[in-house]
Structure 1
Amino acid sequence: MHPDTWQPASDVHDFLARAGDFLRSRPALHSIPLTVTEGLVSRGPGAYGDGEPVFGVLERAGEVGATYFRTPPNRLSLTPLGPDEADALAAHLAGRGHVLPGVGAERETAAAFASAWQRRTGVTPVLHERQRLYRLGTLTPPEPYPEGRSRVAGAQDRELLMRWYAGFVADINGFGHTDPGDWADTRIANGRVTLWETPDGTPVSMAGVTAMVAGQIRMAPVYTPEHLRGRGYAGAAAVAASRAALATGAAEVLLFTDLANPTSNGLYQRIGYRPVADFAVYAFQDTERDR
């Protein structure tokens, strides 16, 4: 085997047997593959999409140095790569007949792969979103703090969570996200959504979290209906969810933000989150097919 070779993995178990130690070596940067593969192991191949998941590893002199995965219809997800590695991956995937809707990765990696994929396939990459990964430092409640209290969402909140999750996906122009009912059921069962409610018991914001893997928990999503925004509810929900994550023993509490939203980026920094790395998401458009 060539010392620097991309190799497909047969399934999530094969992938983790080969790449698990590598992913756990940098849990913050590898948060997405860690949490997605945990979901696939615990809930099966349909946890994040309708198609068969695809995985692969880059072998460097017998050691895993990078990975890719995709849960169709979602975009490709990559760990950090250099330009030559990104080009080799594009050749590997194109040669195996893969058709990709997009890619998400650390900023330079995403740009390198998008360019390589365009050269290999002729599709046009379009920057869909710029993101920033944050890690919690010292948790600091916002001022002023809204009146109310937090609680864990229960079965009685299912319809609300479904509606709010759909609203969140619409707000971010998301594609390939989980069915709202499945999303709500999984998080209710595991107590992974914190609601902020007003003193009269009306829910006004939510903050979800991923399962803890490799000592890290990622907050996703944080959502407040549009007519309730600007009152501090999202900050209160995020603080409550962050505090709960720390209480479970998480060594790192993480979150991604959309860099096009200065309000949310400012909020998370005020409550104690600090930048780790910038990411980018590209959508791929087949210009020949779309004519």
Structure 2
Amino acid sequence: MDTGTGDAPETASRSAAGGGWHLTHDLDAFLTRAGAFLRSRPALHTVPLTVTETLRTHGRGVYGDGAPEFGVLERVGEVRAAFFRTPPHWLNLTAVTPEDADSLAARLAALGRRLPGVNAERDTAAAFAEAWRRHTGAQIVPRQRQRLYRLGTLTEPGPLPPGRPRIAVGTDRELLRRWHDEFSAAVDLGTVRDSAEWADARIDSGGITLWETPEGTPVAMAGTGPRVAGQVRVASVYTPPRFRRGGYAGAVTAEVSRAALASGVDEVLLFTDLDNPTSNGLYQRIGYRPVADFDVHDFT
């Protein structure tokens, strides 16, 4: 497997210094080795599953100019964990023990990797952040607390607001581009994908639903990512500030959730910011139930 640097010493030292971690820039090689592991827990692994599917279908530059990097923790022929990173964004790591978090931090630090932060289940994020601090001296700054939800029984969020849902089309491109920028700024996680490219991809796939007023004015949006391993994740739920408190977010989220269920998927998922009680309450009223908590930490 390609180690990403092309030098033999790194490959030779993999077992001793890397604690069983195998690194690569080759997406196909990563999926060959880690694909079954990721699919074994599709809800908890929804982010690596959807990101790697997007990379596979839209190209390795879809999230930025840097070469994506992947890693697999393997012992006695069994995959125990995996990570990916699409520079310049955070390291995304599946659940690991503190010891394995430390071995990965040591490996990446020894290779001179510069990480802006980590996104992982809460205990794993804390363990890796602390290990990164020990090995690099970086400061740890908590950025966001997230909760992963799974849809149980879908429930209407209450009386629907006036208007109707519709799938976004080509004439909505500029609106989607602008709202994606606003959404990315609002959630404070940076634009992980070019907004114009994102809008084009969502329009092509029919992956964004708008709620519009009876007069035809779009007032909210919600989308779904690719279907992978029997799961779909609802994402990019956004209502511009001037249209909020009208019930539009609940209506459009319920609509895309219903459509996802109708497509025959096994699980419909979404993430929320735990510091936003409004959205957490809304999604639970619709029928979403907590699965796990994730944290994002910045390294400075």
* Match for residue 86 of structure 1 among 101, 106, 123: 101
Give the secondary-structure state (helix, strand or coil) at the position aligned to 1:276.
Answer: strand
Q: Report what 2:166 is aligned to.
A: 151
* Match for residue 147 of structure 2 among 116, 124, 132: 132
Output one character per residue of 1:189-244: Cα deviation in whole Å (capped at 9) or x when no partner: 00000111111111100001101000000011100000111110000010011111
Residue 44 (structure 2) pairs with residue 41 (structure 1)? no
The percent identity for this pair of structures is 61
Output one character per residue of 1:166-201: Cα deviation in whole Å (capped at 9) or x when no partner: 110111122252111011001000000011111111
Q: Report what 2:78 is aligned to.
A: 63
* Match for residue 187 of structure 1 among 198, 202, 205: 202
**What is the letter of the counterpart of residue 142 of structure 1?**
P
In the alignment, the residues of structure 1 paired with residue 204 and residue 242 of structure 2 have an alpha-carbon distance, to the nearest angstrom, of 29
**Structure 2 regions of 5+ residues with no counterpart?**
1-13
Assess if the C-alpha contact under 8 Å between 2:274 and 2:280 holds in 1.
yes
* Match for residue 92 of structure 2 among 77, 96, 103: 77
Q: Report what 2:36 is aligned to.
A: 21
In the alignment, the residues of structure 2 paired with residue 228 and residue 175 of structure 1 have an alpha-carbon distance, to the nearest angstrom, of 23
Where do residues 180-259 of structure 1 align in structure 2 (5 Å cutoff)? 180-259=195-274
**CA drift at 1:70:** 0.2
Q: Report what 2:8 is aligned to.
A: none
In the alignment, the residues of structure 2 paired with residue 2 and residue 159 of structure 1 have an alpha-carbon distance, to the nearest angstrom, of 50
Could you tell me the TM-score, scaled by structure 2's length? 0.93
Structure 1 runs of 4+ aligned residues shifted over 2 Å read 1-4
**What is the letter of the counterpart of residue 182 of structure 1?**
E
Q: Report what 1:280 is aligned to.
A: 295
Instruction: Give the CA RMSD over aligned residues.
Output: 1.1
**CA drift at 1:129:** 0.1
Assess if the C-alpha contact under 8 Å between 1:133 and 1:256 holds in 2.
yes
Assess if the C-alpha contact under 8 Å between 1:74 and 1:176 holds in 2.
no
**CA drift at 1:152:** 0.6
Assess if the C-alpha contact under 8 Å between 2:25 and 2:67 holds in 1.
no
The worse-fitting range, judged by mean Cα deviation, of 240-249 and 115-124 is: 240-249
Count how many residue pairs are aligned between Structure 1 and Structure 2: 285
Q: Report what 2:134 is aligned to.
A: 119
Where do residues 264-279 of structure 1 align in structure 2 (5 Å cutoff)? 264-279=279-294
Give the secondary-structure state (helix, strand or coil) at the position aligned to 2:61.
Answer: helix
Output one character per residue of 1:16-49: Cα deviation in whole Å (capped at 9) or x when no partner: 0000000000000000000000011111111112
In the alignment, the residues of structure 1 paired with residue 154 and residue 214 of structure 2 have an alpha-carbon distance, to the nearest angstrom, of 23
In the alignment, the residues of structure 1 paired with residue 51 and residue 188 of structure 2 have an alpha-carbon distance, to the nearest angstrom, of 20
Give the secondary-structure state (helix, strand or coil) at the position aligned to 1:47.
Answer: coil
The worse-fitting range, judged by mean Cα deviation, of 203-212 and 166-175 is: 166-175
Assess if the C-alpha contact under 8 Å between 1:162 and 1:180 holds in 2.
yes
**CA drift at 1:92:** 1.1
**CA drift at 1:10:** 3.8
Residue 53 (structure 2) pairs with residue 32 (structure 1)? no
Could you tell me the TM-score, scaled by structure 1's length? 0.96
**Structure 1 regions of 5+ residues with no counterpart?**
286-291
The worse-fitting range, judged by mean Cα deviation, of 14-23 and 58-67 is: 58-67
**What is the letter of the counterpart of residue 234 of structure 1?**
A
